[in-house]
Amino acid sequence: MIDKIIDIFAYSPKEPLIFTRFYFWVFFSIVLGGYSVLYKKQKPRSAYLFLVSLFFYYKSSGIYFMLLVFSTFFDYFIGNQIFKAESQRKKKLLLVASLFVNLFVLSYFKYSGFFIDTINHVFNTEFKVVNHFNILANLFTDNHFDINKIVLPVGISFFTFQSISYNIDIYRKRIKPVDSIIDFGFFISFFPQLVAGPIVRASEFVPQIYQKYKITQAEFGMAIFMILNGLLKKLFISDYIAVNLIDRVFEKPIMYSGIENLLALYGYSMQVYADFSGYTDIAIGVAILMGFTLPVNFNSPYKALHVGEFWKRWHISLSTWLKDYLYIPIGGNRSASAFTYISVVFLFITVVLVPGWNLINFAFICSVLMFFVFWTYTENKIFRTLTISLLFIFSFFLFNENWYAFIFVCVVIILWLVNIFEPGAVMSTVTDLNLFLTMLIGGLWHGASWQFLIWGGLNGIGLVIYKQWRKISPFKGNHSWPVRFYAIFLTFNFITLTRIWFRCRNMQQVDEMIHQIVFAFDPAQLFTILAAYKKIVLLLVIAFTVHWLPTSFKQKYREAFANLPLWAIAIITFFAIFFIYQFQTFDLQPFIYFAF
């Protein structure tokens, strides 16, 4: 009996508390039982939910829950000191300290392996990854954690971004610090959105902490609808098509035809949406039952007319966070900042060095630096022509190794020619670097690999191209159905194509999938293959059809469900859960965004 109780409270990496497991709903029922006693008293309620959230995170991450505890105490203290500081200089130093510590911890756990592998590849060194956190854990506990591998703690990207935004908003005088560390800990660790978002702003959530608990019958009905909707997306759609098509094809793309690869790619667009928005729906529903409102994180993203609109509809909490705390501070639409130029040069140097360090690479980097110096600080056409010529010459030597370096030089020359015939045009284009860098960093936020950088960069390029295209588009102001269909079709296919780099585990799989789609696509096999995957095709058709239904229609059936009598909601819930779990896979699939 004692052993069973210990097992319940002990961390098990094989049994995390996730929404699709029966154990979570038992846990949530117990939490609601305790909450029903404390919900009327603000301080005990916050303390209770803070402790419950810490336990939830411990069950999800084990010893790494100490990082959440550290982040809570550190950022609460820094936030108070920023608010109390009398001089602007001291406020700025405290904010810099907060940014440095938070980003250092995030980078250490998320990017150490990536950085070390890149350095070893470029300079032919043999540095090893060492997990210093596990070394400390082994010193103070009886455990024997692996010190040669750094494990990414679940949700670290989400609660780190929340902590950073809290201190920045205090610095900007948009909010005041919370009343106590308990309230701050509750804000940072609120368990429904802790491990996969949405990213919550203090200005949106903290006021709710001090409000009285209130939930109407319609809100209760909407909460149940959101939970059922999320479970339906995850278990009925996402997991089913993942297990029966997507995982198989992406594991060995070369073994499948071009049509199957393309079907898997379209299927993945639906899988990642159903998976992530499904988690968000459940998190929103669970939060409503406890009297809290989380921000909407998805708004039918595949209805987007262009890439810019897509990122206003997809992972909205991250997109707006990057806009407010990265894009605007580095210059936004105003100008390219020093950070912009430094980041571009650093990125390019890194990319050039990936194939290895040699004299030609070094000379090419020097010419790139010369170009940026002369382009930024002088208008002397002789110096600009000289640097462009050097870039062009060195790029030929690099073409076999670094074809992207040659493309970079061609773009530079085009910009130079444009500037000759239309002075000032280039400077207006340079501000687009801020947009590109924001998406590049957004890609890196998703994971430490060159593929995520490429994925982010492609989306950045898509945003920049659209930004320029809309200035000359002949369809501007045209809202007819053919034009809308064309815009949605083009945007959806572009977003889907970029997900090759997002989903594949390595560049070999990327190359194989692109090869099969381009060179092994046989239209004669189309109906045969669709018939072989008829259940999956039918499910995808239904899922995309529902996704593209008018928003007003969706809102009507949501409200209709929410306003049903409680007995009707109970009956529908019973049959819905019975139906959903008929499609449950033998091995439950983790939520995709747990990896970020």
pLDDT class of 186 with cuts at 50, 70, 90: very high
| DSSP-H helix ranges across 422-550 | 425-430, 432-446, 450-472, 481-503, 507-519, 526-532, 534-547
Q: For 131-139, what is the mean pLDDT?
A: 77
Mean pLDDT, to the nearest integer, of 308-326?
A: 91
Q: How confident is the model at residue 412 (pLDDT cuts 50, 70, 90)?
A: low
Among 119-133, 404-418, 436-450, 497-511, which range has the highest average pLDDT?
497-511
Kindly tell me if the per-residue pLDDT of 222 is higher than 90. Answer: yes
Q: Is the per-residue pLDDT at 414 higher than 70? A: no
If one counts every other C-beta atom within 10 angstroms of the C-beta of residue 500, the result is: 23
What integer pLDDT is reported at residue 86 of this predicted model? 86
Instruction: Evaluate if residue 200 carries a pLDDT over 70.
Output: yes
One-letter amino acid of 157: S
The mean predicted confidence, pLDDT, of the chain is 82
pLDDT at 373 over 70: no
Q: What is the pLDDT of residue 413?
A: 57
Averaged over 322-344, what is the pLDDT? 78
- Residue 377 in this model has a pLDDT that exceeds 60: no
pLDDT at 252: 92
Instruction: Give the pLDDT confidence score for residue 166 in this predicted structure.
Output: 92
Average pLDDT over residues 160-184: 91
Q: Is the pLDDT of residue 21 over 60?
A: yes
Res 287 pLDDT > 90: yes
Residues 6+ apart with CB under 8 A from 209: 42, 46, 178, 183, 186, 187
pLDDT computed for residue 11 by the predictor: 65
The span from the CA of 401 to the CA of 354, in Å, is 10
What is the predicted pLDDT for the residue at 63?
A: 83
Q: At what angle do helices 338-353 and 432-446 cross, to 10 degrees?
A: 60
pLDDT tens for each residue of 225-270 = 999 999 999 888 988 899 889 999 999 999 999 999 999 999 999 9
Consecutive H or E run containing 169:
helix 156-171
Query: Is the pLDDT assigned to residue 429 strictly greater than 60?
Result: yes
The pLDDT score that the predictor gives to residue 386 is 63
Q: Is the pLDDT of residue 392 over 70?
A: no
Q: Distance (Å, rounded) from C-alpha 329 to C-alpha 434?
A: 10
Give the whole-number percent of the chain exceeding pLDDT 90: 31
Would you call 37 exposed, middle or buried from its count of C-beta atoms within 10 A (0-12, 13-18, 19+)?
exposed
- pLDDT at position 483, please? 85
* Residue (of 225, 177, 257) closest to 515 by Cα position: 257
Does pLDDT of 355 surpass 70? no
